[in-house]
Chain A
Amino acid sequence: MARPRKKSILSMQAEISPSIYLIISICSFALFFAAWALIVQSGLVRPIFLPSPVAIVARLWALGADGTLFSDIAASVYRIGVGFIAASVTALAVGVLIGNYRFWDAAIEPFLDFIRYMPVVAFVPLTILWTGTTDTQKFLVIWIGTFFQQALMFMDNIKRVPPDFIGFGRTVGLSDAKIVTKIILPSAAPQIWDTLRISLGWAWTWVVLAELVAARSGLAYRIPVAQRYFQTDTAIGYIVVLGVLGLISDQIMKFAGKRMFRYEAKH
């Protein structure tokens, strides 16, 4: 007689409790840093190429103490804030337009597709030519990198609003403008929020790009400077900080989304 196979946490689709999940996640982080520390300790790689995790934490601590780290974070967060909001607002307006009107769909959508495939990186020299190495140039790079993708994703979010929702709005006599503000936008809001969350991740990449190429402050400005002086610990530390900031902003968006769209829950 065949016995039911014993379930292990490694078997496909096995259920895992939240605490076990957390422990496994923490272990993989610990494993990674332990392996890293071990490699440096063994002398396989020279610290100038790969400093130990402890050295990096110490370095970040020192940079935090003298204020450099926080002024760099402030500069980068300011740039991503303005650039991302500018991109999101303009993209949402365009997304609503192409999502609801066939005319604007025909006029704008193919054009967006065309620009979307142009590499953002190649625009960086042009943005410097147009706006110098100012903050406006950083906003512009972030805008170019995010707007075109966002506009198409917002369009898709808008197009997925059930047609009968709009039909209902018409039968109670709402105007087109009211249908957009009172039915289409609230209905698409959870998907729009997801799009914002995904595109915020990209915006981090674009602020890094803009600061690497031409900046006098910011997290990614510090990295090539550190490289020039062989401060590998600073460079790696800043990369980790960027990762952590990205993770924090993503978690904030996720949490806020859960709060705002609680009505979707079954209970």
Chain B
Amino acid sequence: MEKLLIRDLTKTFPAGRSTKDRITVLDNISLTIRENEFVSLVGASGCGKSTLLSIIAGLQSHVFFFKQKTAYEILGPGADRGVVFQSYTLLPWLTARKNVEFALEATGHSKSEIGDIAMNHLKLVGLEPFAERFPAQLSGGMKQRVAIARALSYKPKLLLMDEPFGALDALTRVQMQELLTGVWEREKLTVIFVTHDVEEAVFLSDRIFVMASNPGRVKTIYDVPLPRPRTPDTHRLPEFMQLQAEVLGSIRSEMRDR
């Protein structure tokens, strides 16, 4: 079943003084994301992958050239899509628990239930003992785990992740990938994950969209036929390494062409 359908999406930014000068950052993007699918967008910087994600989140304007009638259009941000940003976005004056409760309250949950939902989601990311800590007292990895818990807590239909582990050190990153894949396998979510780390994309995804730049477009789509659950051993499978090399090659060839 399709979860998100994008047809002929174009995005331009103003370039130069004249309002007519515009650069095309996304050119006629079309893609389909299925229910409960984990999809990664990868590509060299400047290919528009983060822009595409923030359009899906409703945080940036966009143009659709409708060729066919779609049932639903992104008119703005909304609680049907949860976003985990690359930068730390926990509100520093609220504890971990209060941060999750903040999102729950904003999305219209009643005050009586938000406490339990918040604690359950902190448990999901293994941060129950840190519920009363302020963000300044949490490590980078913990902050992103709370951010994931917060984005999942109000049950969005789509989870959008924009390089959420980009600012973390290599070891924490691997731990976070294992945590995320575990959460995904248990909770059955639909995730769009932006990253420039090919290994991360292969480990987490069902499908990988390789994007190319100037203008930003989807170049190749790779299926990831690796077995689930994915574990640390998954990295050592020959299929894993071969796919990783293929995806990397695809991005590299695109960079050479430029």
Question: Taking beta carbons and an 8 Å cutoff, which residues of A are in contact with B?
Answer: 162, 164-165, 167-174, 178, 182-183, 186-187, 189, 261, 263-267
Contacts and interface: CB of A to CB of B under 8 A. Distances in A.
Given A164-B87, A164-B89, A186-B93, A171 B134 contact: no
B106 A263 contact: no
A162 B136 contact: no
Contacts of B225: none
Nearest to A169: B106
A167 B89 contact: yes
A68 to B, nearest CB: 45
Interface residues of B, number: 28
A219 to B, nearest CB: 37
Contacts of A164: 85, 87, 89
B137 A173 contact: no
A261 to B, nearest CB: 8
A191 to B, nearest CB: 12
Interface of B: 54, 57-59, 76-79, 81-83, 85, 87, 89, 91-94, 102-103, 106-108, 134-137, 154
Contact of B83 (A171, A174, A187, A264): A171
A162 B135 CA distance: 15
Contacts of B91: 165, 183, 186-187
Contacts of B136: 263-266
Contact of B134 (A168, A173, A263): A263
Contacts of A266: 136-137
Contacts of A263: 92-94, 134-136
Contacts, number: 68
Contacts of A167: 54, 57, 59, 77, 83, 85, 89
Nearest to A174: B106
A168 B58 contact: no
A32 to B, nearest CB: 40
Given A167-B83, A266-B137, A172 B154 contact: yes
Contacts of B76: 170
A263 to B, nearest CB: 4
A168 B89 contact: yes
Given A164-B85, A263-B134, A171 B93 contact: no
B68 to A, nearest CB: 28
Nearest to B95: A263
Contacts of A182: 102, 106
Nearest to A189: B93
Contacts of A189: 93
B92 A171 contact: no
B77 A173 contact: yes
A172 B79 CA distance: 5
Contact of B77 (A171, A261, A267): A171
A210 to B, nearest CB: 37
Nearest to B137: A266
Contacts of A165: 89, 91
A183 B93 CA distance: 10
Contacts of A168: 83, 85, 89
A173 B81 CA distance: 10
A178 B102 CA distance: 12
A171 B79 contact: yes
A171 B137 contact: no
Nearest to B133: A263
B139 to A, nearest CB: 11
A149 B158 CA distance: 45
Nearest to B60: A167
A168 B57 CA distance: 10
Contact of B59 (A170, A173, A174, A178): A170
A168 B92 CA distance: 13
B87 A171 contact: no
A167 B154 CA distance: 16
A89 to B, nearest CB: 22
A168 B102 CA distance: 11
A165 B90 CA distance: 8
Contacts of A261: 93
Contacts of B57: 167, 171
Contact of B107 (A170, A172, A187, A265): A172
Contacts of B78: 171, 173
Nearest to A165: B89
29 contacts: A164-B85, A167-B54, A167-B77, A167-B83, A169-B106, A171-B58, A171-B59, A171-B78, A171-B81, A171-B82, A171-B83, A172-B79, A172-B102, A172-B107, A172-B154, A173-B106, A173-B108, A174-B106, A182-B102, A182-B106, A186-B93, A187-B92, A263-B92, A263-B93, A263-B134, A263-B136, A265-B136, A266-B136, A267-B137
